[in-house]
Amino acid sequence: MSEDVFDKIAIIGIGLLGSSIAHAANAYGGAAKVALWDASDDVRHRAARVVHGAVCDTADAAIADADCVILCTPVGALGEVTAAIGQNLKPGAILTDVGSVKAKAASDMAAHCPDQVHLIPGHPIAGTEKSGPEAGFASLFQDAWHILTPLPDQDAAYGEAVERLTLFWKGLGARVETMDAARHDRVLAITSHLPHLIAYNIVATAYDMESVEQGEVVKYSAGGFRDFTRIAASDPTMWRDVFLTNKDAVLETLGRFSEDLAALQRAIRWGDGEMLMREFTRARGIREAIIDAGLDTAEADFGRRQLDPNSEN
C-alpha cells in the first residue's frame, strides 16, 4: 500500500467520471482506500453494485480522513457541494474536481474551501456519451489529457500537493498539463463546448423538419448525422452547466462560428464554388495535423464500443 499516492481518496458524485476514477484507482493503483458518495439515493444504490470502493451513506463519511477529495458533480453544483463538506475536510487534504469549466469552478469552490485545504481544480479530457455509475470503466483516462489549473501565488506545500495530484492522475494513465483557468476555458470552448452545442442543435433541427420523417433521419444517419447524435447523447445536466458557467467564451466562439457559417451560406446561395473549395481544403488541413500528431488513436472508439450494446452487431 505504501506505493499509493494517497491513503484515501473520496469521490463525490458517481457518474461516468466518478465511477471511472474508482475503477481506475482499483485497476492501476493510486489510493489505498476509495470512498464514494452521491446525492441521489438511486445512484448510490446502483453504484454499490458496480463500483470498486465503499459507497457511503453521507458525504461526511466519504470524506472523513481523505487525503484527496474529487468532486465529480456537474459544474453548477461545485459551490454548493464545497459549502456542504468544506468544514469537514482534513487539513492538508487536496480538493479537486473534474468539471469542464475551470474559472467558475475554481471561484465557486474557493468561496467555501478552508485555508488549510489545497484547492487544485482539474479537468480530464476524457468521456463517452454515456452517463451514470454503470458507464464507468478503468481505462477511460489512459492516454487522455488531464488539465490542472492550479491557483496562482501559492506556497511550497501547495506545489507539493500539485505534484502529488499529478502523480495520481499519471498513475491512472493520463497525460497531465497545467494551464491557467481562463486559458483552459477558451481552449475548451472551441474544442469541446461549441462542438457539443452544435451537435445538440443539429439533432433538434432534424427532429423538427416536418418535410422529412424522423424515421428517415434515423435510417440514413450514416451520412454524417450519426456522429452528431452520439455527441448529443451526452448528459444534459452536465452540459447545461457548462454553457451557463463558460458563457463568455462560448458566446464569443459561437459568434465567430455563426459569422463563418453565414459566409458559407452566402457562397452556396451565390454559387461561389471557389470559396467553398478553399474553405473545405483548409479544414482538411487540421485533420492532417491531428493524424500527424498521432492523436487519432482508437482509444476513444474503444471506450465507446465497449459500452455500446449495439456496437458489435
Least CB distance to a second copy at residue 238 (A)? 9
281 part of the interface to a second copy, by CB under 8 A: yes
Label residue 74 exposed, middle or buried (CB < 10 Å: 0-12, 13-18, 19+).
buried
Number of Cβ within a 10 Å radius of residue 113:
19
Instruction: Give the H/E segment covering residue 117.
Output: none
Q: For residue 92, give the C-alpha cell.
A: 492538508
For a second copy, the binding residue among 3, 115, 156, 205 (CB under 8 A) is 205
Least CB distance to a second copy at residue 159 (A)? 24
Interface region with a second copy, contact rule CB under 8 A, candidates 90-98, 101-109, 122-130, 134-142 = 122-130
Residue 147 CA to residue 97 CA, distance in Å, equals 11
**φ, ψ of residue 240 in degrees (nearest 5):** -55, -50
49 part of the interface to a second copy, by CB under 8 A: no
108 part of the interface to a second copy, by CB under 8 A: no
Q: Please check whether residue 171 is in contact with residue 3, taking contact to mean a CB–CB distance below 8 angstroms.
A: no
Q: What angle do CA 254, 234, 25 make, to 5 degrees?
A: 120
Least CB distance to a second copy at residue 193 (A)? 8
Name 293's Cβ contacts closer than 8 Å, sequence gap at least 6.
Answer: none
170 part of the interface to a second copy, by CB under 8 A: no
Site for a second copy in 62-91 (CB under 8 A): 76
Least CB distance to a second copy at residue 225 (A)? 4
> What are the Cα distances from residue 132, in Å, to 108, 145, 206, 210, 235?
24, 22, 27, 33, 9
**φ, ψ of residue 146 in degrees (nearest 5):** -125, 120
Interface region with a second copy, contact rule CB under 8 A, candidates 57-65, 87-95, 139-147, 159-167 = 139-147
Decide whether 156 or 298 has the Cβ nearer to a second copy. Answer: 298
Q: For residue 253, give the C-alpha cell.
A: 466562439
247 part of the interface to a second copy, by CB under 8 A: yes
Interface region with a second copy, contact rule CB under 8 A, candidates 47-55, 86-94, 162-170, 268-276 = 268-276
For a second copy, the binding residue among 141, 168, 169, 239 (CB under 8 A) is 239
Interface region with a second copy, contact rule CB under 8 A, candidates 18-26, 52-60, 154-162, 209-217 = 209-217
Decide whether 53 or 99 has the Cβ nearer to a second copy. Answer: 99
- Single out the residue of 96, 98, 88, 80 nearest to residue 56, CA to CA: 88
Number of Cβ within a 10 Å radius of residue 25:
26
Least CB distance to a second copy at residue 78 (A)? 15
212 part of the interface to a second copy, by CB under 8 A: yes
Interface region with a second copy, contact rule CB under 8 A, candidates 78-86, 148-156, 158-166, 285-293 = 285-293
- Single out the residue of 94, 97, 103 nearest to residue 123, CA to CA: 97
Least CB distance to a second copy at residue 157 (A)? 30
Interface region with a second copy, contact rule CB under 8 A, candidates 8-16, 39-47, 150-158, 272-280 = 272-280
For a second copy, the binding residue among 6, 37, 169, 243 (CB under 8 A) is 243
